[in-house]
Amino acid sequence: MKVKLQDGTEKHYRTVWMKESNVYMIDQRLLPHRFRILRCKTHLDTVEAIKNMAIRGAGAIGAAAGYAMCQAALEARDISNGQSRITESRDWFGHIIIAEKTIKKARPTAQNLFYAVDRVYKAMCGDQDLKRITEQAVKEAEAIADEDAASCKRIGELGNDLIRDGMRILTHCNAGWLAFVDYGSALSPIYAAKEAGKNVFVYADETRPRLQGANLTAWELLNEGIEHRVIPDNVAGALMKQGKIDMVIVGSDRIAANGDVANKIGTYTKAVLAKENSIPFYVAAPTSTIDPACKSGDLIPIEERNEDEVRWIAGVTKSGRRMEVRVTPEGSHALNIAFDVTPAELVAGIITETGIYKAEDIIHALE
């Protein structure tokens, strides 16, 4: 999507891309206060960026992981030429195998990461020529990134049909273009509705502890000129009861075969509240988020992150200086579960690029 730069110009950016052996990404840890591009020179740099959430969001993580596999293939070429900067493995194939495992360990919940790594790995198999293997890897990783952007655009077109003029929509976390390669999932129908001339108003849950709603969704909505309010995570119930929310759209990190949906912690609470107040609760996700091997939501691996993400909060001072402050007593420990699972029966529909499905029928989206 377009980003307004400090010099007043506008430029189209994807969240992540690859040039030669480098992976570039918008550093999402610094938004909304600073727009910076991070360069990852090796597959391990890219893995670190996924882990520390310089890049985050299912589709963006997936594309970055695909590119990390290409970096591993390029590094393997150096190993086979005897010019290795990598010491982990003595042979090029061993290097790729270790890299594949390392990339898969970066974050456990987003299915798109495993989808991308498996696809690039498969594209590399069945050939012994390292030059060709590397070319195949790059071709596949670029295809994954392009498909992610195209799927999200289509999700916007299909989801737009669900949005009526004047609707007030609640979203949780950030499932906008920053969470994908472009366009986004939950925010894509909102962008399409705006483009179609509809008035839409968005309530963006701030989304503790990492504040993806306050930092990223608000930044996107502001850039796109969409009227919105950031709300503390515990406000939505009151607004629903007062009749101020017409619809909920959230993203997903992994969808089980039975239609249970993993998404950012706090999503389940909103789904229960939506049901209680008869408000449609939609999930938007590309089919690359569906895990057909995972029978139900109970089996989705849920990431637990460092407790300091809850204990400390980052922002800027009035003079614009970035600062981190602790919000808990020093001796208190915290629990930082990053995702929860919303059962299929609470979901009004799942918007994918192949159509809008009842959650329990989601497996048909892959046909």
Based on the shown chain and the rule CB under 6 A, indicate whether residue 270 belongs to the binding site for ligand MRU.
Answer: no
Contact 136, 144 (CB under 8 A): no
DSSP annotation of 187: S
Question: Which among 58, 174, 113, 111 has a CA at the least distance from the CA of 301?
Answer: 111
**Going residue by residue from 298 to 337, which x/- string records binding to ligand MRU, judged by CB under 6 A?**
----------------------------------------
Contact 337, 302 (CB under 8 A): yes
With vertex at residue 338, the alpha carbon angle to CA 328 and CA 190, rounded to the nearest 5 degrees, is: 110
Contact 185, 356 (CB under 8 A): no
Contact residue for ligand MRU among 54, 57, 137, 288 (CB under 6 A): 57
Report the residue number, 338 or 341, with the smaller CB distance to ligand MRU: 338
With contacts defined by CB under 6 A, how many residues of the chain interact with ligand MRU? 16
Which listed residue (27, 148, 253, 260) is catalytic?
253
Least distance (Å) between residue 334 CB and ligand MRU: 16
The CA-atom distances, in angstroms, between 161 and each of 64, 199, 351 are: 31, 14, 11
**Which part of the chain contacts ligand MRU (CB under 6 A), choosing from 32-40, 51-59, 142-150, 312-320?**
51-59
Contact 249, 167 (CB under 8 A): no
**Which part of the chain contacts ligand MRU (CB under 6 A), choosing from 2-10, 38-46, 232-240, 248-256?**
248-256
Based on the shown chain and the rule CB under 6 A, indicate whether residue 46 belongs to the binding site for ligand MRU.
Answer: no
Contact 119, 140 (CB under 8 A): yes
d(CA 142, CA 138): 6
Is residue 253 part of the annotated active site? The answer reads: yes
Based on the shown chain and the rule CB under 6 A, indicate whether residue 264 belongs to the binding site for ligand MRU.
Answer: yes
**Which part of the chain contacts ligand MRU (CB under 6 A), choosing from 55-63, 91-99, 321-329, 357-365?**
55-63
The tokens for 159 are 């989801």
Report the residue number, 60 or 70, with the smaller CB distance to ligand MRU: 60
SS3 265: coil
Least distance (Å) between residue 321 CB and ligand MRU: 25
Contact residue for ligand MRU among 27, 148, 253, 340 (CB under 6 A): 253
> Which pairing describes strands 349-352 and 281-284: parallel, antiparallel, or unpaired?
parallel
Report the residue number, 75 or 253, with the smaller CB distance to ligand MRU: 253
Based on the shown chain and the rule CB under 6 A, indicate whether residue 288 belongs to the binding site for ligand MRU.
Answer: no
Least distance (Å) between residue 120 CB and ligand MRU: 20
Contact residue for ligand MRU among 111, 263, 288, 342 (CB under 6 A): 263
Question: Which among 170, 162, 307 has a CA at the least distance from the CA of 243?
Answer: 170
**Going residue by residue from 184 to 213, which x/- string records binding to ligand MRU, judged by CB under 6 A?**
-x--------------------------x-
Based on the shown chain and the rule CB under 6 A, indicate whether residue 338 belongs to the binding site for ligand MRU.
Answer: yes
d(CA 357, CA 361): 6
The CA-atom distances, in angstroms, between 259 and each of 162, 180, 277, 284 are: 20, 21, 22, 12
Based on the shown chain and the rule CB under 6 A, indicate whether residue 173 belongs to the binding site for ligand MRU.
Answer: yes
Report the residue number, 212 or 352, with the smaller CB distance to ligand MRU: 212
Burial 174-184 (b: 16+ CB within 10 A, else e): bbbbbbbbbbb
Question: Residue 131 corresponds to which amino acid?
Answer: K
Which positions are catalytic?
253
The footprint of ligand MRU (CB under 6 A) covers 56-58, 173-175, 179, 185, 212, 250-253, 263-264, 338
